[in-house]
Structure 1
């Protein structure tokens, strides 16, 4: 593996860089997004906000995430990757402390939107900054390790937040800020230098452009397909399936365990079999795991479905990123922009799916319909992926020169 020695003289091992990127996904998405959901009832019951306002604040994070995904490449070009990543990590930490003081709805809205923006920038930029320093044959595993931070945040959100809330809302926000700050400080010097070369080459070949458009569509459809598990799983298990609140809590724990195991496992498989192949297989597996909940209330089946749904919630990201690198294997300077557009597609479709399915449930009160639509989305993603593939100009990531031998 390649070691990076920056202008500050600090030597950075690849595993230290991977840890920094892991911390970025844990803080920017795992905590900034997933830890907010279990806080909503407390925000309402403590009189900080109405339930409608609390949901709008959640939407502010999604809007900020989309903005961050879009502006990340420009920020990297303007201030450099290392400084930008440090800045986003610091702002994410600061947002937790700011939310401990409920000055007004506008104050909270700004900081929730800012936390979303930092998450979007970190999602787009952290892994591309680190992966060039990892041998090509191990990049799937490295990507998986990075995005495991999202899964850890999802797991902790359902276990530690209820415990922290016993100390009160301000203390909970401060605890999240302190944990994030410790990780930020520990990884501050681990980021590599990163400033993409100006994109002055000819446009991508037709086959590459077509493959990227297919990937953006599939990644966005998969984002919508993940919504039923992310938003409605616990309520479905509790009320519709009749397994009670405790049953829903266990199912959410299985979701969290899947989110922990999924990214690294899927990345390791992609290293062996190719990102495109595992991505396609993943769509098929998700179709079964999501669709089955439209047909049965069997608790063992629900737990298996929850684990698989959790595995792909963060696990789809390293597969999509790896596929971007496969398609643009001969144009690494284009990979950052392509990953930004893929992340934007994911963010838009996840927000549309969340609001659309929430509205549909309010009209129908039908959980089976929600899971059926989720399954239909991922089936459509599989159909799009199986369309005739470009004949040339794409290759597996393994064809890239190993930077360790450069």
Structure 2
């Protein structure tokens, strides 16, 4: 996930320089990936998909590797859009089926608390791929080589998980409890989750490009995405502890406010200490908010977990799709990410306020 879904962020500035891509085109490519992720996530939680979870997981990981590598083959915007869309579908299947396999087996082993280790993989993937990209760029690698290397990393992951997650006899899942009731708190949370999708994704897509364009912080370009990934790795465990103390909704609200600060600082205080702090705060919250949102959604969903997951995924996905394209168009019009980042920061503040307001219902 850290490679297939997020490696576009450190490769983007190199592609823009080499191919002369506009920021609106770069944002559109990112939005295409998120549109594929939305479709894949919605399909993956429906009864349409039959067969082995492990088979779908390994197949999706192979497709992720293929679409990542093929990004190096063409210079066509249309090809980039198609490949990143298919890669987004594959990324969604990877997340859904890896989580289903790992979390089910942890539960049967009585080790559910290790779920945070599983989700830390996204942050470690971001950090590892960022370090690889930084080394390759320093050695003069072009954008094509960066995509090929990213694909190679995914192939290694495919081989590893094929060994680490052996085939097992399917275990029937418990029937889903449905009560047909409507919870106004859940509806508000879904809307807040959609705003979060919009609020985080602009920085997640363009933070490396922002750093490259600012002379005072440009030397930090190789490190900034690495810092985000390292901060993301332990974030779910940390926010889970916070949630146990103050509740998942209050923790969701707090994390949104911290991330709003990170987003606005990343475009207004362009000094090395400030951008590093922004990267730490951003990385330390964006995965945690996902976990907190799903945890709160489960609690508010009256047992209808599949429907809740589908609705939250749809809202989050729509926010992700709009964000990069919106930011790219505004950058081309104004020459700055200030306005889109300010809008993203405001969306995060509103999302946090909405989540906190649910506590009073």
TM-score scaled by length of structure 1: 0.73
Q: Runs in 1 of length 4+ with deviation above 6 angstroms?
A: none
- Structure 1 residue 104, shift from structure 2 partner: 6.3
Classify 1:34/1:376 alpha carbon distance in 2 versus 1 (closer, same or farther; 3 Å).
same
Superposed, 1:129-168 pairs within 5 Å as 129-134=101-106, 139=112, 142-164=114-136, 166=140
Contact 1:251 1:306 in 2 (8 A): yes
Q: Which residue of structure 1 lines up, in the alignment, with residue 318 of structure 2? A: 348
Alignment of 1:310 with 2:287, yes or no, is no
The answer to whether the 8 A contact 1:94-1:177 is kept is: yes
| Equivalent residue for 2:327, pick from 357, 368, 377 | 357
- Helix, strand or coil at the partner of 1:300: helix
- How far residue 228 of structure 1 moved from its aligned partner, in angstroms, is 4.3
- CA positional deviation for 1:31: 1.0
Unaligned segments of structure 1, at least 5 residues: 1-28, 392-406
1:216 aligned residue: 190
Residues 40 and 291 of structure 1, relative CA distance in 2, 3 Å threshold: closer
1:123 aligns with 2:95: yes
Give the direction of change, closer, same or farther, for the CA distance of 1:143–1:342 in structure 2 (3 Å limit).
Answer: farther
CA distance in 2, matches of 1:194, 1:31: 30
Superposition map of 1:276-355 within 5 A:
276-292=249-265, 296-328=269-301, 331=303, 334-355=304-325
Distance 2:128 2:97 in 1: 24
Partner of 2:199: 225
Q: Which residue of 2 aligns with 1:60?
A: 32
CA 1:97/1:285 → structure 2, altered by over 3 Å: closer, same or farther?
A: closer
Q: Deviations over 1:324-360 (max 9, x none)?
A: 33334x62xx323422331222121022122223323
- Match of residue 8 from structure 1: none
Root-mean-square deviation over aligned CA pairs:
3.5
Q: Which has the higher contact order (CA 8 A, sep 6+)?
A: 2
Deviation digits for residues 2-22 of structure 1 (CA, Å, limit 9, x no counterpart) = xxxxxxxxxxxxxxxxxxxxx
SS at match of 1:186: helix
The aligned counterpart of 1:202 is 179
Match of residue 404 from structure 1: none
Aligned residues: 354
Contact 1:283 1:381 in 2 (8 A): yes
- 1:375: Cα distance to partner? 2.3
Cα drift, residue 385 of structure 1 = 1.4
CA contact (8 A) 1:76 1:84 kept: no
1:221 CA drift (Å): 1.1
TM-score (norm 2): 0.81
Shift of 1:161: 1.8
1:211 touches 1:327 (CA, 8 Å); kept in 2? yes
Displacement, 1:198?
A: 6.1
Distance (whole Å) between structure 1 residues aligned to residue 142 and residue 333 of structure 2: 35
Structure 2 Cα separation of the partners of residues 131 and 225 of structure 1: 28
